[in-house]
Chain A
Amino acid sequence: MAEAGAVLQGILRQGWLTMAAFLVVIALLGALAQVLKLTSGVFLGSGIWVSQAVAGIFGVIEIALFGLQAVPVIAHSASVPANVGCGPVIEIGQFSAALIAGIGSLRMLKGIVQAVVSASFGGSGGVSTALIEIAETLFGMLLITVAAPVGAAFFGAC
């Protein structure tokens, strides 16, 4: 089971790198779209478009930077300890802990990608949804930290 966990973790790490690279690409394309809006605003003399576009450019870059810097720290702090359970359960506990950390991290990064896409179009609803999703994932990861030892004790494994 440890080998299976290592293989799955490897795939999840590759997925993390791919999604992070995708986040950078989307952030840059979104910033370019806002620059296009800014230039059109200058062309047409629309001050509102110019200010919205400037805010959009900074918003996209800041959300992307927040995602790349903060999500690893959050995910690391909410990760389940690898020695959950005891006896025969400990191997399952380690396997689950590895998967929970990986899937939770990827879900949070996916939320950031959604937020960047939304900010690229000048929307704010997508940013709120993404933050809610990050909070949900974090809550779930922390709940497991409490629930897993309690469950192991309840089933008499410890």
Chain B
Amino acid sequence: MGVFDVVYNHIASLSRDAWAFMTGLLVIVAMLGGLYYVLQGSAGMAFGGSKMAAYAIVGIVGLVIVVLIAFLMLPELGDVLKNSIPAAPF
């Protein structure tokens, strides 16, 4: 990138920090969500609320699937975008 190397390296460094921060935040939110659904499921099972327990199980599974899909899909999308960078049209 020539003269813009320094600028890009700074931006890339900040972006990597931002990525790490957001993925950490995502894991925290997902774990808190899982904990909430575990509490809901336990409460449901404690007093025989099968609907509550079922919703809790579905919720946990859904959370895990969403986060896994995101963590697997986003790097692939990044590769697609990176490979789509065209040469300058001038």
Show the binding face of A for B, using Cβ within 8 Å. 9-18, 20-25, 27-29, 31-33, 35-36, 38-40, 42-43, 61, 64-65, 68-69, 71-73, 75-76, 79, 98, 101-102, 105
Contact = CB atoms under 8 A, between A and B. Distances in A.
Contacts of B85: 17, 20-21, 24, 68
Contacts of B1: 14, 17-18, 21
Judged by DSSP, the binding face of A is helix
A42 B22 contact: no
B36 to A, nearest CB: 7
23 contacts: A12-B90, A15-B4, A18-B1, A22-B8, A23-B81, A24-B81, A31-B74, A32-B19, A32-B26, A33-B22, A36-B22, A36-B29, A43-B29, A43-B30, A61-B77, A65-B80, A68-B85, A68-B86, A72-B88, A75-B89, A101-B89, A101-B90, A102-B88
B89 A72 contact: yes
A75 B84 CA distance: 16
Nearest to B18: A29
B54 interface: no
